[in-house]
Amino acid sequence: MEASLAQRRSVRHYTPEAVSLSDLSQLLWATQGISGADKHGPVRTAPSAGRTSPLEVYVVTAEGIALYGPAEHQLQPLGDKDVRQALAEAALDQGCVREAPLVLALIGRVARTVDTYGDRAERYVTLEAGHAAQNALLQATALGLGAVPVGSFDDDQVRHILGLASQATPLYLICVGHPAPK
């Protein structure tokens, strides 16, 4: 844990090598996976206000788009088109989004949290994205991968690319890959 905290850096250049399925599996578990259960139900690796679990993780690779299902720890394929170039354009053409073999898009569903927390829901969902993203970044570091959290993008364009309705809030694009040699 201390080693990952000490070694974490934003890494924006990657080799073309894909992130392996086992590394992807571990990254998704770290981001939003189920780590156990108690009398209130499943517990995730990242805290969630009132366990309303408003975050979704979309996986973008050369193979297309998929949605992570924490309960089954499975990916639900949503399309086989490579949208990484379009995603990079939506993110102000940032090179890290263009180069990354893997982008984890953290999407907020504020409606899930509003019933319990009303006006504070939007704040809570944003805070949760920070928890989940940090888990992803530290896990990437521990796996020897490089990653950077990207918050600068056009929400509507990201929604359009991922096929999301207007109620879904894109919060972060986490670019991941094998660090390019310096």
Ligand X SMILES: Cc1cc2nc3c(=O)[nH]c(=O)nc-3n(C[C@H](O)[C@H](O)[C@H](O)COP(=O)(O)O)c2cc1C
Question: Could you list the residues that contact ligand X (CB under 6 A)?
Answer: 9-10, 12, 94, 96, 148-152
Nearer to ligand X, 152 or 166 (CB): 152
SS3 57: strand
* Other Cβ atoms closer than 10 A to 72: 9
- Helix residue ranges per DSSP H, 17-174: 21-32, 84-90, 95-99, 111-117, 121-142, 155-162
> How far from each other are the two terminal CA atoms of the chain, in whole angstroms?
25
Q: How far is the CB of 22 from ligand X (least distance, A)?
A: 25
Q: How far is the CB of 126 from ligand X (least distance, A)?
A: 9
Nearer to ligand X, 4 or 25 (CB): 4
Q: How far is the CB of 96 from ligand X (least distance, A)?
A: 5
Nearer to ligand X, 60 or 75 (CB): 60
Nearer to ligand X, 8 or 64 (CB): 8
Nearer to ligand X, 106 or 168 (CB): 106
Q: How far is the CB of 162 from ligand X (least distance, A)?
A: 17
For residue 75, the surrounding DSSP H or E stretch is strand 74-79
Take residue 39 and report the two structure tokens written for it. Answer: 């009398």
Q: How far is the CB of 173 from ligand X (least distance, A)?
A: 8
Cβ-proximal residues to 31 (8 Å cutoff; 6+ apart), any chain: 45, 46, 57, 68, 104, 106, 132, 133, 135, 136, 139, 174
